[in-house]
Structure 1
């Protein structure tokens, strides 16, 4: 990567984190300064910023160690990595069998985050790519709004704040239907002629771990949970949820 594409201050901050992480014992200010060769004033600014973010902690003996924020982010990344690795083979199987694009979205502070796409429709613009946060108006967004996950709470509050009273009533009806059917569909929510439907992946606490979304040309994508393709995807959703301890009764997933 060329230098002009880097943010030098961020690189320095990450380097400091790596130095602290690579030492078994917490480091003193002077020890970090000796390793980095930074001036006292610059190092103090970096350490203060990292401390306020929670990336490092300042201990009572004036040493520095990794902070709670990194542990929190690490646990989130670990959980998301686990579900992505688990779901990828299913997505490939889905796209091969149905001829439709299958994607996985996982919870993030910015809403449903597209983490993997198995694209069976080469050249089609599905309105998303890996790393995209999907809106509430998508079928994925409806599933994320229908099932509990604290990570997306602020996103949902922000999305709802954009709607008027009538739109909120319609949304609440849509969410109620999605909770009962474990299924949500949208006709051309992001791109013309491209529609989708989504199903949840839940854990033993009935918390949303992610959503599988099926995307394709409008005429090829089911809008009902009773369609054979929908049933096939819902069976996979049920199987995946069971792996995370979710117990579905006869009226659910």
Structure 2
């Protein structure tokens, strides 16, 4: 007879999430006593949870009515989640085409405060260590980093770029600026083995109607199989796909 192992949970986090669910389900501002009745928590414990959730913007206490509602941070996180999920849904069929056509791995990187964030990976049939995985951030020195530095307009993300550039030599900065100008002209950036030996990549941007960077398509594989120029047939193929996705979001070159 086998017993099913239950997944480990953090009880305090579970309680906090339960409070958020209660506020969402009630659909109206709740007083402290209302929440206490619905959670059966002691006053001292409930106060600590509400105070912590308020501090992080997860809930908001109206000082005039002493009632609680969901906070602005949840709205921000929800918008980010919706934005990322929608672009992922759009790119999935395209990424399948790219992997079938090229036998290379394809990444979707989206903007985050820490730089390009890998949000989706379509792996090639063979297994290789690409030096990154879902949920990790790519450095400025990568082909994705060059695309983000070239096309990203959000001033808040420039803090990431400044921090990354502080590790560059003067000559590396000069070369990087040259790469950016070329990328701005061609909508294409390539890097030879930027993260791991024998693995190279090239990246192209996905833009919207306002010329804002929604993300980057990055193709990764063994150095000998990855195009280094936009003139390569594979480079042209992926660039055309990026153009189609961008047109879906209203971009016109």
TM score, norm. by length of structure 1:
0.92
Q: Is the 8 A contact 1:185 1:196 kept in 2?
A: yes
- Which of 207, 212, 223 lines up with 2:212 in the alignment? 207
1:132 correspondence with 2:136: yes
Which whole-Å deviations, capped at 9, do the CAs of 1:13-35 have from their partners, x for residues lacking one?
A: 21211111111111111111122
1:122-162 superposed Cα distances (whole Å, 9 cap, x missing partner): 22111111112111111111111111242633322322233
> For 2:10 and 2:126, how far apart are their aligned partners in 1?
35
| 1:165–1:242 CA distance, 2 compared to 1 (3 A) | same
Q: Give the counterpart of 1:119 among 119, 123, 147.
A: 123
2:180 maps to 175
Pair 1:70 & 2:74 matched: yes
Q: Tell me the SS of whatever aligns to 2:140.
A: coil
Matching residue of 1:219: 224
CA distance in 1, matches of 2:240, 2:210: 19
Determine the structure 2 residue equivalent to 1:159. 164
The yes-or-no answer on 1:87 pairing with 2:87 is no
CA-based RMSD of the aligned residues comes to 1.6
Task: Give CA deviations for 1:50-104 in whole Å, capped at 9, x if unaligned.
Answer: 1121111112311100111111111111111110000010000000011111111
Cα distance in 2 between the residues matched to 1:114 and 1:167: 25
In the alignment, what sits opposite 1:143?
147
After TM superposition, the score normalised by the length of structure 2 is 0.92
1:206 aligned counterpart, secondary structure: coil
**Secondary structure at 1:22 match in 2:** helix
In 2, are the aligned partners of 1:193 and 1:217 still within 8 Å (CA)?
yes
Measure, in 2, the Cα distance between the counterparts of 1:155 and 1:11.
33
Contact 1:55 1:68 in 2 (8 A): yes
The offset of 1:121, in angstroms, is 4.2
2:101 paired with 1:101: no
Give CA deviations for 1:198-243 in whole Å, capped at 9, x if unaligned: 0000001111001001111100101111111101110111111111
Partner of 1:251: none
Distance 1:152-1:121 versus aligned 2 partners, 3 A rule: farther
Change in CA separation of 1:23 and 1:149 when aligned onto 2, cut-off 3 Å: farther
Which stretch of structure 1 is more off in the superposition, 19-28 or 86-95?
19-28
Aligned-pair distance for 1:170? 2.4
Instruction: From the superposition, tell whether residues 118 and 242 of structure 1 become closer, same or farther in structure 2 (CA, over 3 Å).
Output: same
Cross-structure match for 2:44: 41
**Structure 1 position 2, deviation (Å):** 4.8
Structure 1: 5+ residue stretches without partners: 249-253
Equivalent position of 1:21 in the other structure: 24
Runs of 4+ in 1 over 6 A off after TM superposition: none
Structure 2: 5+ residue runs without aligned partners?
none
